[in-house]
Structure 1
Amino acid sequence: MDYLFFTNTPAHVHLYRNAIEELRERGHGALVLARDYGCTLDLLDYYDLPHVVYGELATSKCSLARQLPSHYRTILRKTREYDPDKIFGVGAYAAHAGTVTDAPVFLITDSENTHLDHAISRPFADAYLTPHTFDKDLGEDHHVFRGFKECAYLHPEEWEPQTDVRDELGVGPDEEFAIVRLNAFGSHHDVGHDGFTPEKRGTLVERLAEDVTVFVSDEGDAMDFSSVPARPFDLHPALLHDALAEASLLVADTQTMVTEAALLGTPAIRSNSFVGDGDMGNFAELEREGLIYNLRAFDAVLDRATDLLSRAGVADEWARKREEFLEDKVNLTDLVVRVATDRTMLRSLPTKRTYNLMPTETPI
């Protein structure tokens, strides 16, 4: 069989890369339709995944509107040419690609607040797969798995370090370091939202640098490193998870890396305008489990960061909490492969409407 996957962002590459590799090892065909956004293409090249670029996107909020017509022209043409048996993606691009082929479309999403994308994707999707914490009903074809989309690559059965990242970073074996992740807020779901201001970014780095070495991963490339006591994270982006696993702390105004830190056992602080009433279910659960902190006030971010870096035994505490949290979480790569290769698989997967009636002892 031939499978088509959409990777619109770097996170989507990680979501599907192991499933693509497994399907290809089984003799199936797989093609990625990719958007040139951030380090998406760098990751596809690193993992040697067959791909075609359907367009590019800058980190400005108006870039998508300008590029959308050409994106769709290329997507529909390439989908028709490839003629896949099944399509996997995250949102509208994958859903609408299904209109030019008989292939069923499966979407994995974890963002409840992307209302427009859900509205224009749902009529064309054969099934949605979402985490058990997803606090929204997308209809009768909305299926639930116990875990997060990051379990496709950071589940214990999938994750292993790729390098001795401390040598790559130039830090000693016992040298503590923190990672600051800064969002460009250029995606369509970021419209109307914000994170750390330039002034707060500088203050944050200076406070952290009093205790540890600081690396900054800046999606918008706006940080002036000549004026702050920090180093850019300039390793290949595929090594970011290796660094995150070794870090003493992550502070971020973005989303995905916070969940990744939790699944790797690294304390994380998340602060942006999404935090508060109506926040996404995965972040609420991770905070309940004591793996992350969702903080709106900047002073609270500084105080919590200082506390975590000064407190003894934090690394062992988070390692224990991570292990306990992942005990009943699904290997999402395995689930994607089963959905791809077994047409009856979805029948055994609970829907959003039946999930709460099922026992939680068995991971689904």
Structure 2
Amino acid sequence: MKILFELGHPAHVHVLKHTIWNLQKSGYETKIVARAREITPKLLEAYGFAYERLEKYNGLTNKTFGLFINNYKLFKIAKKFKPGIFVSVGSPHSAQVSTILRKAHISFGDTDVKKYTLYHLISSLTCPFSDVLCTPSCLISKINPKKHVKYEGYHELAYLHPNHFKPDPHTLDQLNLSNKDKFIIMRFAAWDAVHDIAHRGFKNNQERIEFVERLQTKCKIFVTSEVNIPELDKYKIPLAPEKIHHLLSFATMYIGEGATMASEAGVLGVPWIFVSSWGRGYLDDQEKNYGLGYTVSDSKEALRIALSLTENENLKNEWSEKRKKMLRDKIDVAKFMTEFIRRYPKSFHEYKNRKFKYS
């Protein structure tokens, strides 16, 4: 069996890497097609993955043209590779090309769809052409029940579950830190992803700069940013991108506009503050059911919470207990993905009859 994986974002490399490795070990032939976004190529190379490239397009007009261009590129790649199954994280390219080639498409999405938004439009170009839509159970979007599969987990548990991830303390040595040092990781977003359009976090770069300068009086700050902010260059993280989760696991907290990194912090037992005008279902689940973080739309509220957390001397122990509770309720998502793909379509029919075991 040949399986084609399409990766549209750096996080997708992490989400699907263990599934790809598992399937390769079982004798499956895989092909990775990736959009050249941010650090995606570096991550793929770091993990030893060969891949073929699709382009990333910015702006509504360019994204519209890019849909057709990347569809054509993916069609040519797939026509030559001849996959039996397409796998993506909610990609319209894989959904549409798989339909043209009369092959199955399994989508592993995790973003709630709001009506009358651009992401709703993109979803309408994906869902009708997908055979299966697998999502975390905490999403509130209404999805075609004939195609929908829910599981108890988050994307981030596909690579940060204890079965797959062990924090490396040597990462701290590279930054002259000890496990007793307090430090905060911050991430600033470009807000150019399809699901980000019309939403915002910090008002502007000046607000971001002032926020960092205020917090750096309390503890060390590291910044990762999709936008160019020269004033914050001195806070950049001097680490290879594949090492970021090791650093995050030892952080005092995470603050930022990146929802994925907030969820990563949560599953690692690190407090998070997500600054955004729009929440996420999986972050709501972490906040309401486990108390792992906070979603706020105002930077002043974010600063108030952050300052309060830095004063809590029992912070790590409290969040460690919260993480344990979360892990008791959730599954190894990489194991679920691997088995679902490996046994598809039997796994889908078994799931619908509640006979498919994925815990």
Q: Which TM-score applies when normalising by structure 2? A: 0.91
Written as runs of structure 1 = structure 2, the 5 A alignment for 1:245-256 is: 245-256=249-260
The answer for the alignment partner of 1:320 in structure 2 is: 321
| Structure 2 SS opposite 1:312 | coil
Written as runs of structure 1 = structure 2, the 5 A alignment for 1:282-301 is: 282-288=282-288, 289-301=290-302
Letter of the 2:241 counterpart: P
The answer for the alignment partner of 1:359 in structure 2 is: none
The answer for the alignment partner of 2:208 in structure 1 is: 201
The answer for the alignment partner of 1:357 in structure 2 is: none
The answer for the alignment partner of 2:13 in structure 1 is: 13
Q: How far did 1:136 drift?
A: 1.5
Question: Is 1:213 matched with 2:215?
Answer: no
Relative to 1, partners in 2 of residues 1:66 and 1:163: Cα closer, same or farther, differing over 3 Å? farther
RMSD, matched Cα: 1.9
The answer for the alignment partner of 2:348 in structure 1 is: 346
Relative to 1, partners in 2 of residues 1:163 and 1:5: Cα closer, same or farther, differing over 3 Å? farther
Letter of the 2:130 counterpart: A
Q: How far did 1:34 drift?
A: 0.3
Mapped partners of 1:68, 1:85: distance in 2: 22
Mapped partners of 1:193, 1:127: distance in 2: 28
Question: Is 1:335 matched with 2:359?
Answer: no
Task: Identify the match of residue 236 of structure 1 among 225, 237, 240.
Answer: 240
Contact preservation (8 Å) 2:224, 2:237? yes
Contact preservation (8 Å) 1:254, 1:270? yes
Letter of the 2:167 counterpart: P
Mapped partners of 1:295, 1:252: distance in 2: 10
The answer for the alignment partner of 1:25 in structure 2 is: 25
Contact preservation (8 Å) 1:329, 1:363? no
The answer for the alignment partner of 1:64 in structure 2 is: 63
Task: Identify the match of residue 268 of structure 1 among 264, 267, 272.
Answer: 272
Q: How far did 1:63 drift?
A: 4.7
Contact preservation (8 Å) 1:80, 1:100? no
Q: Unaligned 5+ residue runs, structure 2?
A: 114-118
Contact preservation (8 Å) 1:144, 1:349? no
Which deviates further from its counterpart, 167-176 or 243-252? 167-176
Q: How far did 1:103 drift?
A: 2.2
Q: How far did 1:17 drift?
A: 0.5
Q: How far did 1:224 drift?
A: 2.2
Q: How far did 1:350 drift?
A: 5.3
The answer for the alignment partner of 2:159 in structure 1 is: 153
Relative to 1, partners in 2 of residues 1:210 and 1:297: Cα closer, same or farther, differing over 3 Å? same
Letter of the 1:84 counterpart: P
Contact preservation (8 Å) 1:61, 1:187? no
CA offsets 1:69-102 (integer angstroms, 9 cap, x no match)? 3212211111111110111102212211202323
Relative to 1, partners in 2 of residues 1:144 and 1:286: Cα closer, same or farther, differing over 3 Å? same
Q: Which TM-score applies when normalising by structure 1? A: 0.90
Identity %, equivalent residues: 25
